[in-house]
Structure 1
Amino acid sequence: MSFALGFVPIALLLLGFPIFLVLLTAVTVALVFYMNVPLAALHQNLFGSVNAYALLAIPYFIYAGELMGRGSVAQRLVDFVQSGVGSLRGSLGITTVGTATIFGAISGVSAAAVATIGRVMYPSMTKAGYPKPFAAGLITAVGAIDIIIPPSIPMIVYGAAAQESVPRLYAAGILPGLLIAGLLAGYVMWRARRENFGAGEPFDRSHFFRATVRGLWALGAPVIILGGIYGGVFSPTEAAAVACIYAILVTRLVFRELSFAEIIEAAAATTRFTAQILIIVSCAGVFSWLLTVNQVPAALVSFLQSLGVGQWTFLLAVNVLLLAVGCFLDPLSAILLLTPLLIPVVKALGIDTVHFGIVVMVNLAIGLFHPPFGINIFVAQSVLGIDLKTIYRGILPFVVLYLIALVLITYVPAISLVGVWVLIN
């Protein structure tokens, strides 16, 4: 059995097979050669893994973000944030951080934020004298906030895998996301002052008022989503559906930017992306079932308890593991692969599973832009039209900032849990 559970997945990953095929092959080998179980169990668990109400929110949030990202929403958000930043040194960089954070509360897809914000902000920053590596690194890194700030799609998947409340996870992600945004904005200001670039423009009250009016409809999406969830009006899945209707009305009737054909095209793109996600979810569900029936999580808990591992040591080991895994696997694959193994240990050690979920999100957010294989790096290269060496040089300071935030979030649980206490309890 160790051959099927250990050697087969590792060998296929090293050979470059897609993660869903890696998991499915391992389960098939185990069922055929090592277990006296009918193959019908494979089909039942494949379909049973996606039979979760919380997963319905995924296509809805993707569709809402797809619609809002195709029009002028990003530019309206940029104008709103920039008009409020005023004369602060590094104002364009701060605007990039603020816009990406707000956009994350609409989309929840990191690559979409990098592409959308990058097209708007990179030309403006380089024209204003920002060093190209710095501007490229900021845009690549800031998109990772989107999987920490709700509504995060990886949080929905973690909630389903860990059987944890999605509203609680969303509440827990707000303050850590703002903490990271604050660290990035502070670094932008310090760097701009030290190297004397990015002078801002004086605050103009009339311009701020006009930008706010233009951005109200764009700002309405996160207000409706989060306000509806924590106001008890609807569940996260219902909030996602409402966000889709809102996005269609705004982009088609208010902004008059998308035709009906483009709305259907966005739906088709959403369907393709959702299929890519759910096939991983289904195969990971089967692999999780295989681990459970073979008592792998229980054996891991017993082993760690025999070693006397405490919370701090375990969290440190998990951070190292997730940082390594995040460099090679996308967040959804990493969550679905590791959560069934780690959650029993987390519960046995008395660690809050909501807090642990945020630790997982921050680790995998770093993996999105960590050299050499972070997906945001390649999205930025494609959108910005610059070489990888420039992006790598610019990313390193932001990796350090995220690591500082990770240490704080890991060992100060209140940073995550205060949002739950305020909004849920």
Structure 2
Amino acid sequence: MAAILFGLFLVLLILGVPIGFVLALSSVGAMFSADYPLVILSQRLFTALDSFPFMAIPLFMLAGSIMSHGGITKRIVDFALSIFGNIKGALAHVVATSGIMMGGISGSGVADTAALGAVMVPEMKKRKYDAGFSAALVAASGSIGLIIPPSIALIIYGVTTQSSIGDLFVAGIIPGVAIGVGFFIYSYFVARKKDYPKEGKVSAKGVWTSFKKAVWSLLMPVIIILGIRGGVFTATEGGAIISVYAFFISAFIYKEIKLKDIPKIFYDAALSTAVISTIIASTSLFGWLLSSEQIPQKITAFLLGITDNPILLLLIINLLLLIVGMFLDSGPAIMLLAPILAPVAQSLGVDMVQFGIIMVINLTIGLLTPPVGTSMYVASNVSGVPIMRLAKKLMPFWLIMITVLLLITFIPGITTMVIQ
């Protein structure tokens, strides 16, 4: 049965079938081969979605859709520009900084990449920035949204492993900011080398003016993190609160959303939710079949049988996650691998919150790597830069993220000190 399950999975993946259908069809094929009752199919698909924590996903999707239509991205970019306008390559620094700020709002690396790309790539082209560098920076900075709370990937990990979503959110702040700062530093040296332009003088008055316009947007991640960590509301309730808040400031303070925009906003959110829900449901079925065949236990025993050196085992796990991230998006990868790898990590004394951040950073790098890097494809479409050229320009960004990943892996206090 396992051979048919994995064989169908690989064939369908190579053929380019969407991952939700790959998981579902390979599971159905394996069930037929092993004479499993087909009633399990409907049970697993619906049970997977019958989860209160998972309700946070459509709500944060709605908040992200409102953000993209409501002028929130523009005000964050303007605020960042008011701070860094006097530095060479100001627009590059604005992209890196905006990626950090937007990561605390939408929860989706792909959505942030699309929003940043639509606003910043045309402006960078006008100022003669290298197109490959611009696209790579937008893709990498946008992907930080998968790490900084509220992260949909961290919600999925928390539900899958029964870890505290509030702790995961707090633990993701330092790694996400560290990666963004790394992008900022790299951009500074590129800007100096290429002599990219400044964007005007920085003044206290200008910063204060742009801050007042952006403050309502900047409060969104603060509300989410403090609310969840303070026990005021759950992650799901936080999604509802932040959606209402985003709509209020977009419609009544920024006045960017009109009545005619509402159907489009809900349609975009519903479409994104449908895609993720399909993946979650089919991953649950696939994972149940793996468990019934005791494949996770066999993989755990195999990994522990390779070596008892914890450093080497953690490196192997990271390498495995990096490879998987090249082919699977974060959602299905987490749901498939977290039940398998979490017990191995626990046996090595790794905190489950720390392991969640390790897993998400690995899979975030996967958003930026061929052949299935979603953020990379979004940036390529927005900028017109071919995929292979973009992949080459992304290499320094991979190195920055891998450096932070190794620090998180071998210095647990970076993530755990903030949740003690």
TM-score, structure 2 as length reference: 0.94
8 A Cα contact 2:70 2:251, kept in partner:
no
One-letter code of the match for 2:65?
E
Q: 1:88 — aligned with what?
A: 87
For 2:392 and 2:41, how far apart are their aligned partners in 1?
46
For 1:164 and 1:126, how far apart are their aligned partners in 2?
44
SS in 2 for 1:370: coil
| 2:39 is the counterpart of 1:40 | yes
Deviation at 1:389, TM superposition (A): 5.1
For 2:179 and 2:108, how far apart are their aligned partners in 1?
17
| 2:356 is the counterpart of 1:363 | no
Count of residue correspondences: 420
For 1:326 and 1:198, how far apart are their aligned partners in 2?
36
For 2:284 and 2:309, how far apart are their aligned partners in 1?
29
Q: 1:192 — aligned with what?
A: 191
Q: 1:171 — aligned with what?
A: 170
Q: 1:15 — aligned with what?
A: 15
Q: 1:127 — aligned with what?
A: 126
Unaligned regions of 5+ residues in structure 2, if any?
none
Deviation at 1:390, TM superposition (A): 4.6
For 1:38 and 1:238, how far apart are their aligned partners in 2?
37
Q: 1:205 to 1:306 in 2, by over 3 A?
A: closer
Q: 1:127 to 1:13 in 2, by over 3 A?
A: closer
Question: Any residues of structure 2 matched to 1:215-364 within 5 Å, and which?
Answer: 215-364=214-363
Q: 1:330 to 1:253 in 2, by over 3 A?
A: same
For 1:147 and 1:329, how far apart are their aligned partners in 2?
14
Q: 1:306 to 1:275 in 2, by over 3 A?
A: same
Unaligned regions of 5+ residues in structure 1, if any?
none
Q: 1:9 to 1:119 in 2, by over 3 A?
A: closer
8 A Cα contact 2:167 2:229, kept in partner:
no
Question: Any residues of structure 2 matched to 1:393-404 within 5 Å, and which?
Answer: 393-404=392-403
Question: Any residues of structure 2 matched to 1:69-80 within 5 Å, and which?
Answer: 69-80=68-79
Deviation at 1:18, TM superposition (A): 2.5
Deviation at 1:182, TM superposition (A): 0.9
One-letter code of the match for 1:31?
M
SS in 2 for 1:232: coil
Q: 1:419 — aligned with what?
A: 418
One-letter code of the match for 2:342?
I
| 2:179 is the counterpart of 1:180 | yes
8 A Cα contact 1:86 1:204, kept in partner:
no
For 2:116 and 2:417, how far apart are their aligned partners in 1?
30
SS in 1 for 2:201: coil
The root-mean-square deviation of aligned C-alpha atoms, in Å, is 1.9
For 2:52 and 2:399, how far apart are their aligned partners in 1?
37
Q: Deviations over 1:354-386 (max 9, x none)?
A: 111111111111111123442122211222234
SS in 2 for 1:420: coil
For 2:72 and 2:304, how far apart are their aligned partners in 1?
51
Q: 1:30 — aligned with what?
A: 30
